[in-house]
Amino acid sequence: MARGTDRFRLQGPGFAIALLATVIAGGTLAYHAIEGWSYWRSFYTSALAITTVDVPEMSPRGQAFTVVLLIGGVGAALYTFTLLATLVVEGGLPKRLQRRRYQRMLETVSDHFIICGYGRIGRMVARQLTQQDVAYVVVERNPERVHTAMEEGALAVEADASREDVLKRVGIDRARGLIAVVGTDAENVYAVLSARVLRPDLFIIGRAETEDSTQKLKRAGADRVISPYQIGAMHIAQTALRPAVVDFVALATSCDNLELAMEEVGISHASPLAEQSILSANLRQRFGVIVVGIQRANGDMEFNPEPDTSLHAGDKLVVLGRPESLKLLDAEAVAR
């Protein structure tokens, strides 16, 4: 293994540059000894000879050495320049530029989600965020999955999502939330715990396969714990019992639907909607939306609220309407 490494080093750009420098240095010393020139003139003449530019008059011995220098120097120069050009053309320079670009993107990305794991679920989550035009960064240990994520246009990092330095690298201090969907429940617990230590206020979602893991993820700091098997079973049962309801919810929550959408709208302290009732805010007439529910700041949910229900800062409205109407409502809800 060591011999192979040494052989590679003797063929790399470092060896090529060293070879060219050695030839020029040797020519400089030889001209100084043969012609008695200064070191600068000797170096200058060596450079001229290697680049096949006309050289000054010299003695027959100097001319004979120039012939040798031309043969060896031109070969060394061509080898060096060819190797450097090959590195640029075949990906050496583009790869370095790409790494710098990725680093700049990681340093500037904000209000994004950190997706820990790019398996089947992580990939589907990334697609949904892409369709919603939401920024995200993928953290995955498997190099093949990282390559797949990059090919699909994702900003991805090959690393362990449970390490605090990795989470800092992907901008957890500027993140909107973290989604832990790594391969095992244990890895998800560690990722959630590390994220919660770094950002106590971060919104964190964890995936669990067992009930025991669900409790551990909650204790580790996950705000929401999703069990794909449980949700899948519930969806199948609801589809069998209430197919029309399931179709309606799927239609309202699909990002591909241009006619109807269900969205969550948070009310800020500076919003003119704060401390008004649904009726006085005139949401239906002004925005053409239906308030399906209100999640209070303490987490309580009120479904199908009455028209005289008050809206407070920190509440989240679950509303149904056209996408463009929801955008207008959201702009007023967060107005400053």
Per-residue pLDDT of the chain (336 residues; tens, 9 = 90+): 444 444 444 455 566 667 767 877 888 888 788 888 888 777 767 777 666 556 667 676 766 666 566 656 666 767 777 766 766 665 555 666 667 777 888 888 899 999 999 999 999 999 989 988 899 999 999 999 999 998 898 899 999 999 999 999 999 999 999 999 998 899 999 999 999 999 999 999 999 988 888 899 999 999 999 988 888 888 889 889 888 888 877 777 766 655 777 888 889 888 888 888 888 888 888 888 888 889 988 888 888 888 889 999 889 999 888 888 888 888 888 865
Contacts 24+ apart (CB under 8 A), 194-200: 194/161, 194/162, 194/163, 194/164, 194/167, 195/114, 195/167, 195/221, 196/220, 196/221, 196/222, 197/164, 198/164, 198/167, 198/168, 198/172, 198/173, 199/172, 199/173, 199/175
Block residue for tokens 């001229």: 48
CB 137 within 8 A of CB 109: yes
Cα separations (Å) of 157 from 72, 128, 141, 164, 177? 46, 19, 8, 14, 17
Distance of alpha carbon 295 from alpha carbon 317, whole angstroms: 6
In sequence order, what are the residues at sequence separation of 6 or more whose Cβ sits closer than 8 angstroms to the Cβ of residue 132? 255
Longest CA–CA separation in the chain, Å? 108
Of the candidates 318, 298, 294, 326, which has an alpha carbon nearest to the alpha carbon of residue 308? Answer: 294
- AA identity, residue 34: I
Distance of alpha carbon 336 from alpha carbon 328, whole angstroms: 14
Distance of alpha carbon 152 from alpha carbon 146, whole angstroms: 10
Q: What is the pLDDT of residue 251?
A: 73
Q: What is the pLDDT of residue 2?
A: 43
What does DSSP assign to residue 53? -
Strand partners for 301:
295
List, in order of start, the domains of the chain with CATH numbers: 2-89 (1.10.287.70), 96-232 (3.40.50.720), 258-333 (3.30.70.1450)
